[in-house]
Amino acid sequence: MKPAGSRKEWHDEGMTSAAVTSSSWTSEDIPSQVGRTIVITGANSGLGFASATALAHRGALVVMACRDPKRGLDALDCVRDAATDAEPLLLKLDLADLDSVQAAAKELAELVDRVDVLMNNAGVMALPLRRTAQGHEMQFGTNHLGHYAFTGRLLPLLLAAPDPRVVTTSSQMHRLGKMAWADLDWNERRYQRWPAYGQSKLANLQFAYELARRAHNMGSSLKSVAAHPGYASTGLQQAGPTMAGRRITARIMNLGNRIAGQEASSGALPQLFAATSKEARSGAYYGPDGLGQMRGAPTEVTSSAAARSRDEAHRLWNLSEEMTGFAYEWNAQNTSASG
């Protein structure tokens, strides 16, 4: 492992030169991924499925980490049809159950010898109050805690790769989020589904930035990059209202998708750029370059002051260790994690 001082200084978001942008970047610009192993959470639908299809088409060994085996198998067949080199694999993963996260990481270590890219893509949005297997609020538990633990448990496989990346999907809704440190799990407050979603998406960004800082401080080549899709029509918007029995709201969300949303294949471009482009920087955040970052080609974008707060990110990391019972460990060879 190189000492931290031997590497080019890492800068926080917003402290670098002009943002990276490409007004014409599409999935056709993804370089060959032959020989690379890419794990995608939530790969059976939406942005995850679009990413899996595009990356398999460029030759990657795509590991589709999915909660529902049946839906995962259906998606696997489609991704297999798109693959041009390695056969895609299916991995059972329920991010709302930390025991499942541990089991999935163990199974993956038996299937592959390294992970070049981990795409933390899966998520739930604006659900009625639900709890994970360990009792955490479902959106915070799934969107953040599950990915925190999964990333840490895959750290040995990531550090075995020559140029590893972790791509974490956030949302413009992070700007409405606020970390309620005394009650992250909504045990004391009256539950509000949209503020809860915003908190989880803010946590995604704080995690991505803190992971980039920690990797840099350890002299690791691991890149941690964040992305958001803009307004992508993925079906995620209707899930919460449907679960709550709000049919009219679900129909309104569906109509909004048709009018304002872009296809999942377009919404996936920022995270694909973050995962594959040589221009993507560790500690950067990518989203669409169009009006209001709703749609368009990938470009480097800004995030809220709360997302960029080092103190908040450090506090979240420590609490995540406590809430999951898992601590990252970077050893001298840069090859292990324990918890």
What is the set of active-site residues? 197
165-191 burial code (b ≥16 CB/10 A, e <16): bbbbbbbbbbeebebeeeebbbeeeee
On the CB side of 143, CA atoms within 13 Å amount to 27
- Tokens read off for 82: 């798109």
Q: Tell me, what DSSP letter sits at residue 179? A: -
Residue 237 backbone phi and psi in degrees, to 5: -65, -30
The residue among 287, 235, 244 whose CA lies nearest residue 264 is: 235
Q: How many CB atoms lie within 10 A of CB 107?
A: 12
**First-to-last CA distance in the chain?**
22
Question: Could you tell me if 173 and 193 are in contact, meaning their C-beta atoms sit under 8 angstroms apart?
Answer: no
The residue assigned the tokens 């390294």 is 114
Distance CA 277, CA 198 (A): 28
- The full DSSP string for 114-174 is --SEEEE-----SPPS-B-TTS-BHHHIIIIIIHHHHHHHTHHHHHTSSS-EEEEE--GGG
Question: Could you tell me if 303 and 205 are in contact, meaning their C-beta atoms sit under 8 angstroms apart?
Answer: yes
